[in-house]
Amino acid sequence: MYILGLSAYFHDSSVVLLDDDKILFAASEERFSRLKHDHSFPHNAIQECLRYTGIQFEEISEIVFYEKPLLKYERIIETQIRNFPQSFLQFLVSTPLWLKTKLNLRKTLRNEFLRFTETGKVPDIQFSYHHLSHAASAFYPSPFQESAVLCLDGVGEWSTATMWNGKGNQIDLIAEIKYPDSLGLFYSAFTSYCGFEINNGEYKLMGLASYGKPLYQELILENIIKVFEDGSFKLNQKFFAYNYSDYTFTKAWEELLGFPAINGESEPEQKYRDLAASAQKITEDIIFKMASTLKEKTGSENLCLAGGVALNCVANGKLAQNNIFKNIWIQPASGDDGGALGAALSLYYLKKKAPRDNTQIKNMMEGSLLGPSYSDDEIKKDLDKYGLKYKTFEYQQELIKECCKDIMDQKVIGWFQGRMEYGPRALGGRSIICDPRQSQMRDIINSKIKKRELFRPFGPIILEEDLSNYLENPLVSPYMLIVDQAKTNELAAVVHVDSSTRYQSLGVGDGRLLRKVLENLKREYSLSAIINTSFNIKGEPIVCTPDDSLRCFAETEMDVLYIGNFRIDKVGNNCERVEKPRFMND
């Protein structure tokens, strides 16, 4: 039975195709449309899904959307009523949009799907719940037969934080916190106050927090947020404007803090760094308290995490180390992109009542490499189209050895191999890699390619068996969602100002080509780690197709590109014929 899961119309539209409980394909629309956090209906992703899997649209028996649109509208209209008359402008803007498309979402979606079939038949569209989708995306792919599940995000229908108990194929809601009290929106307000974009800059605030001290923690706890012993909290709505406008915070912040919000992404002064550290500390404390409450309620040794807040890898790392739970598993696509997966899985297990025995399934997420891949013939067509010179390898081992040599020669390498990642992290499918031992490599990547804020750190990929050589409390981290303290300064380019590092570990059984590169690097050069950052330029989604990667390679000062079985060197190549990255044209 083929089940298509869908998330759309808020941010990070995505599509997932299941064959029973096997994930055949999962990808976000932004990778194909080249618009970051694209919220539109995922036409391109669905088209690519059908192409890649070779499945006809008519073969799909179930389609499920990741949330309940009418419950969401109920929340919106009730919030507007509660905030009368400040909500007048928001009411005028949002009402026509909802009346036109979202209130009759079943029909809107059906019309969108009609372009994939000539028969005019579309399966009945079904609807999951926003937080159920998050919880299902965390629990069902996890290796646990029973587990506590914690979901934290901005808001779905009404819930902003939920606690669940998962067992077998069942997942039961235990408790929830409802809108307008939201940890995700609390964090977003600080993100915005420090000059970063909401839904895009939260990880920048997390990086900035390492440079500050939580000097404003008490002030915030006394005025902005009240935290209870069980981890629940209440926001003082005097300080928040998201109920009635597009802004998250009110002027009361400036009166309380004594300094204004940053307008635009300028270099934040120390007081903003302290503010970021305060928000981060409060967020961590709330997560720990909620985890303790959940532990009490479920008695489980296992915890699964999902929701946008679960991408806070600093909090995840501390949670993993404080031993409230013995084992932790975090969904790599924790944001709304993962909602598509959770919706499909919840339908399969809860509605179809399919049995679940994950003791046999070691890696249901397949390292989160669930997007499209491209054959060498397809790649060669693009290389020839732009008239690029390249080298091909007769044996894989030759490619591996040459790549290791390039790493040792301090080159910045584009790495395009196998299937594309699902979720916001580059995990060795579409990455930029290089030697992590020299601290100047961070500046070189920044000046040559990424052009991002200097306070943001890069992370390494480390061989799982050698984690203890580099980290204080090594834990398996297959999805780069955990931060730990570095043991030494050996990997200088990936150690943050507070000696922390956000790392990905590659296990012994991992089939990724990058694992073989690391093994060879260890054998020949006694190095078990490399810098891993996403293959894109600032403002661009991670590259998806060979064409995207060639455009990014040509636009930047990247030295070498390993794409499929080909090596392209910038030296001796004329990249003028290669077009600009597509997002620059849009």
Partner 1 sequence: MIKQLYTKPDVTKNHWPRPFCDIDFFLRTIFAYFVHTIFLILASLMYFFIMGPLSLYLRQKDSAPSDQSNLHLVEKAEYEFTRMF
Positions touching partner 1 (CB under 8 A) are: 64, 68-71, 74, 78, 80-85, 88, 91-92, 95-96, 105-106, 124, 126-129, 132, 163, 172-178, 181, 228-234, 293, 346-347, 350-351
Instruction: Give the H/E segment covering residue 560.
Output: strand 560-563
As a whole number of angstroms, the distance between CA 332 and CA 77 comes to 33
Q: Which residues pair with 171 in a beta bridge?
A: 166
Q: How far, CA to CA in Å, does 283 sit from each of 11, 263, 274, 278, 524?
A: 23, 24, 14, 9, 43
Is 506 in contact with 518 (CB distance < 8 Å)?
yes
Is 450 in contact with 280 (CB distance < 8 Å)?
no
Count Cβ atoms below 10 Å from residue 353 Cβ, excluding itself.
9
- In degrees, to the nearest 5, what angle opens at C-alpha 152 toward C-alphas 480 and 455? 45
As a whole number of angstroms, the distance between CA 343 and CA 337 comes to 11
Instruction: Give the H/E segment covering residue 554.
Output: helix 546-555
As a whole number of angstroms, the distance between CA 127 and CA 578 comes to 43
- The distance from CA 573 to its chain's CA centroid, rounded to whole angstroms, is 34
As a whole number of angstroms, the distance between CA 57 and CA 117 comes to 6
As a whole number of angstroms, the distance between CA 415 and CA 564 comes to 9
Rg (CA), the chain: 23
Q: Give least dist CB 132 to partner 1, A.
A: 6
Residue (176 or 398) nearer to partner 1, CB = 176
- Strand, helix or coil for residue 166: strand
Q: Give least dist CB 279 to partner 1, A.
A: 19
CA dihedral in degrees (338, 340, 117, 41; nearest 10)? -70
E-only strand ranges, 465-528: 482-485, 500-506
- The distance from CA 99 to its chain's CA centroid, rounded to whole angstroms, is 31
What lies within 8 Å, CB to CB, of 549 at 6+ separation is 414, 416, 430, 535, 543, 561, 563
Count Cβ atoms below 10 Å from residue 222 Cβ, excluding itself.
11
Count of alpha carbons within 13 angstroms of residue 253, beta-carbon side: 22
Tell the residue number behind the tokens 């209130």, with chain if given. Answer: 103
DSSP assignment, residue 471? B
E-only strand ranges, 215-273: 225-227, 233-235
Q: Give least dist CB 237 to partner 1, A.
A: 10
As a whole number of angstroms, the distance between CA 4 and CA 46 comes to 9
Q: How far, CA to CA in Å, does 520 sit from each of 122, 415, 461, 528?
A: 50, 16, 14, 9
Instruction: Give the H/E segment covering residue 441.
Output: helix 440-445
SS (H, E, C) 568-579: EECCCCCCCCCC
Residue (228 or 259) nearer to partner 1, CB = 228
Residue (147 or 565) nearer to partner 1, CB = 147
Amino acid, single-letter form, for residue 14: S
Residue (286 or 313) nearer to partner 1, CB = 286
As a whole number of angstroms, the distance between CA 534 and CA 31 comes to 12
